[in-house]
Amino acid sequence: MDPILIEFKEPKHRERLGRTVLEEEPRRSNVVQMKTRILRPSEYEALRSAASPKYRVVFDTALMTGMRVVELRLFLKNPSWFDGTFIHLPRIAIKKKKATINQRWIHLSSRGRALIENIHQILGEADLPTETSLRDYMHRKALIAGIDPYGLNMKMFRKTWESWLIASYPDRKEEIFLSQGHTSLTALQHYVNLPFTEEDRLKMKEWVEGWR
């Protein structure tokens, strides 16, 4: 089955002391066209199975929260942002330069809430590698899992999760987009009408069930 890839524009970034830093004023030459992979549940589970226990937690957290790496790093420093039901990201955590919202509440599935309830006992800020290291690790494990690594990056988790949610809850698009920090115009073109099979949709339920 062919991989699902979506294309988007992204400003170039650099990493400094473990932090991802966006160029202050990205010029046209600093904007690159990128493709990222949308994983089917079977592909995600194969990648996850090839990873170590620590990285499984990192992957699951990145997937089921839909947080960007910089947001996840800040959340690991601020456990009080989880109120038992939602993760509240204040403006300081939303690092995307073109973000039009001042804060957001991340909704979680039942499986996601169970993970986040204990995440700060399992994973600390220092345990989260740089985005480049995470991508390189992911590529190595993808080859072990028999997955083509093309298009695999940390944005893949966020975009995969959004796609699964929209496929599973098509009547809740606005809630999904707001939870993920999008406007409908930003996300609609990427995530609607992707070629998921009936088997994909059934397997998604294990991950997205109870999302609220």
Task: Determine contact, residues 210/107, Cβ cutoff 8 Å.
Answer: no
In a domain, 200, yes or no: yes
In a domain, 84, yes or no: yes
Q: Report how many domains make up the chain.
A: 1
Half-sphere exposure of 95 (CA within 13 A, CB side): 17
Task: Determine contact, residues 156/162, Cβ cutoff 8 Å.
Answer: no
In a domain, 114, yes or no: yes
**What per-residue confidence (pLDDT) applies to 25?**
39
In a domain, 8, yes or no: no
Q: What is the dihedral of CA 186, 190, 193, 198, to 10 degrees?
A: -120
Q: Which domain holds residue 128?
A: 32-206
In a domain, 18, yes or no: no
In a domain, 127, yes or no: yes
The answer on pLDDT for 29 being more than 80 is no
In a domain, 156, yes or no: yes
Q: What is the pLDDT of residues 79-92, one digit of tens each?
A: 999 999 999 998 77
Please give the distance of CA 83 from its chain centroid, rounded to a whole number.
20
In a domain, 23, yes or no: no
Q: What is the pLDDT of residues 64-122, one digit of tens each?
A: 999 989 999 999 999 999 999 999 998 776 655 555 567 889 999 999 999 999 999 99
Q: What is the pLDDT of residues 30-43, one digit of tens each?
A: 444 568 899 999 99
Please give the distance of CA 115 from its chain centroid, rounded to a whole number.
15
The domain that holds 74 is classified in CATH as 1.10.443.10
User: CA dist 208 to 10, 64, 164, Å?
Assistant: 28, 8, 7
Tokens of 3: 């991989």
- Euclidean distance between CA atoms 179 and 164, whole angstroms: 14
The sign one gets for the Cα dihedral 193, 37, 161, 28 is negative
Please give the distance of CA 172 from its chain centroid, rounded to a whole number.
19
Residues 6+ apart with CB under 8 A from 95: 22, 68, 70, 71
